[in-house]
Structure 1
Amino acid sequence: MAQTDAAGREVPLFRIRDASVVRGGKTILHVGDFSLAEGEHVALLGPNGAGKSTFIQLLTREVAPLWREEPPVLFRGQARPRLDEVRRTLGIVSSTMHDQVRVHLPVIDIVTGGLFGTLGLPLRREVGETDRALAADALERLGIAGLADRDVMTLSTGQVRRVLVARELVRDPQVLIFDEPCTGLDPEGMYHVRKTMSTLAAEGRSVVLVTHYPEDIVPAIGRVLLIKDAEVFADGPKAELLTSDVMSALFDVPLVASEADGWYALRGAYA
């Protein structure tokens, strides 16, 4: 539920203002003014190395911006929120998480481990039927309940990616961050991951997507944030920004954008 300030105004889930992240004396990201409302969806789009991952790390508190008298990053109006509150609110799924799945464990154990922040069931901690029921429910909601007893190492790449979503969903986060979720997937895997994002958006959760490709942006995501050269290049409705001219300027190559039934695609404009 959205929070309000003393004047009755809705407090954004995130607010970033005049935030600069500097490494080795070089600014790797500057964000002038950005806010995300509770339940709002946004896609971050841009070239490799533009600063998209750093932007997400600002939200997750993995990186800190330069100090300002007015705190640059607020979470629900708080400059110094408790990290456990931030982690409880956010669920994160990325293609790199897939590399950590190198153990022969049943899927239900992988998902249940999400309650404890472990890959699989935690040692020296009792796991009850309620915990397993939550994991089973997460799998059911994503349409993969039939995988519960499978060895996770026997699954396809797309199936593992959806299991990792269930592992985050088991904690009931209000925000799901998808960082390049379709990297390495075949068309079937992409279809199911994109369908999963649509399902979560329909439940009222905020979906934050990081991608290179407009094809990953599900129709429920109506806003795009374009990042280029460590700056916010543009921020607005996708219908206004996912155009041939804007995409060509963003990626510095001639591109043609197209739309069909709320889905967008890019192709090269070859002479």
Structure 2
Amino acid sequence: MKINNDHRQPPILEMENATVRREGIHILDQFSLTIQMNENTAIAGPNGSGKSTFIKLITQEIYPIANKEGAPPVRMFGKDHWVLEELKSKLSIVSSDLQNSFLHNTKEGHIPGLDVVVTGFFSSLRLFPHQHISEYMIEKAKKALSLMDATQLADKMLNKMSTGEVRRVLISRALVTEPEVLILDEPTTALDFVARHKFMDQIRKIVQGGTTLILVTHHIEEMIPEIERVVLIKNGKKEFDGSKNDILTSANLSEIYDHRVKLDRNNGLYKVHVD
């Protein structure tokens, strides 16, 4: 596992005993996690394990209960308070929630792919007349689409795209401002195995280009070779955390998913078989 020893750069994320409770139930329970720059990390666990809550803490959609130590439970890039627009310039998140927001807030997705990407400059869900869209932005948006092999989607309406095409456009939107960190939340949900393979190949190229990846998933097959660290969570608690080779084992996954599974590895990729 690659460890960032450059102490001049603060960690991307520091969570210290973060607890989120809903209707008396702990969704995250004393959750602590630090992720350094250039430390490509996967957060994995079954449905209901707390992965979505983890994402919402980062995006400040929800806030944790104050811990007893008085320290900020969540810090991003060394700061516990951010102007959200400033944070988005350093970190981009792509999730099913974002996809749904575009479809529901743009006349049921009546917006072309290129415009979707350009909205990334404004952190908005549509383009407005008062926004100044420069040639520079257009060229950057086209370049981002090209990076995701999605140039042909520039003029296609979002509501006419397949799920895989929508994901590629949203990744392009996330990359248009050249963020340091990309967070993907269940990125291949609803994709068939061919589309999943092509999609993750594009993500590999992005990571190889220097973008730090935090992948939140319950699909072990999404853990590309560039991911070095794996965190397995269950019932809102961190159960296993370490290098991918050490953490991804049949025994650990069987414990996390409460079912006997067998894990195969081939050329840095993983596949799970359920017994």
User: TM-score normalised to the size of structure 2?
Assistant: 0.89
Letter in 2 for 1:29: L
Q: Is the 8 A contact 1:113 1:122 kept in 2?
A: no
2:261 — aligned with what? 255
Residues 186 and 243 of structure 1: CA distance in aligned 2, closer, same or farther (over 3 Å): same
CA distance in 2 between counterparts of 1:60 and 1:153 reads 26
2:17 — aligned with what? 18
- 1:33 and 2:39 correspond: no
SS in 2 for 1:11: coil
2:54 — aligned with what? 55
Q: Is the 8 A contact 2:16 2:33 kept in 1?
A: yes
CA distance in 1 between counterparts of 2:64 and 2:245 reads 31
RMSD over aligned CA atoms reads 1.9
CA distance in 2 between counterparts of 1:225 and 1:115 reads 32
How do 1:46-125 residues align onto structure 2 when only pairs under 5 Å count?
A: 46-68=45-67, 69-99=70-100, 100-101=102-103, 102-125=108-131
- Per-residue CA deviations over 1:42-77 (Å, capped at 9, x if unaligned) read 111111111011112222222211113121212222
The offset of 1:10, in angstroms, is 4.6
Residues 32 and 103 of structure 1: CA distance in aligned 2, closer, same or farther (over 3 Å): closer
Question: Tell me, which stretches of 5 or more residues in structure 2 are unaligned?
Answer: none
SS in 1 for 2:142: helix
CA distance in 1 between counterparts of 2:186 and 2:128 reads 28
1:207 — aligned with what? 213
Q: Is the 8 A contact 1:157 1:189 kept in 2?
A: no
Of stretches 197-206 and 95-104 in structure 1, the one that deviates more from structure 2 is 95-104
Decide which of 259, 265, 269 is 2:271's aligned counterpart. 265
Letter in 2 for 1:202: Q
Q: Is the 8 A contact 2:85 2:123 kept in 1?
A: no
The offset of 1:169, in angstroms, is 1.0
The offset of 1:97, in angstroms, is 3.0
Question: Tell me, which stretches of 5 or more residues in structure 1 are unaligned?
Answer: none
Residues 122 and 189 of structure 1: CA distance in aligned 2, closer, same or farther (over 3 Å): farther
The offset of 1:30, in angstroms, is 2.1
CA distance in 2 between counterparts of 1:10 and 1:43 reads 21
SS in 2 for 1:178: strand
Q: Is the 8 A contact 2:10 2:36 kept in 1?
A: yes
Residues 113 and 76 of structure 1: CA distance in aligned 2, closer, same or farther (over 3 Å): closer
Q: Is the 8 A contact 2:262 2:272 kept in 1?
A: yes
Letter in 2 for 1:28: I
- 1:133 and 2:139 correspond: yes
CA distance in 1 between counterparts of 2:85 and 2:272 reads 39
SS in 1 for 2:190: coil
CA distance in 2 between counterparts of 1:193 and 1:24 reads 37
Letter in 2 for 1:118: S
Of stretches 37-46 and 92-101 in structure 1, the one that deviates more from structure 2 is 92-101
SS in 1 for 2:92: strand
2:234 — aligned with what? 228
The offset of 1:85, in angstroms, is 2.1
1:182 — aligned with what? 188
User: TM-score normalised to the size of structure 1?
Assistant: 0.91
Residues 205 and 31 of structure 1: CA distance in aligned 2, closer, same or farther (over 3 Å): farther
Equivalent pairs counted in the alignment come to 265
Of stretches 180-189 and 77-86 in structure 1, the one that deviates more from structure 2 is 77-86
How do 1:231-246 residues align onto structure 2 when only pairs under 5 Å count?
A: 231-246=237-252
SS in 1 for 2:131: coil
SS in 1 for 2:173: helix
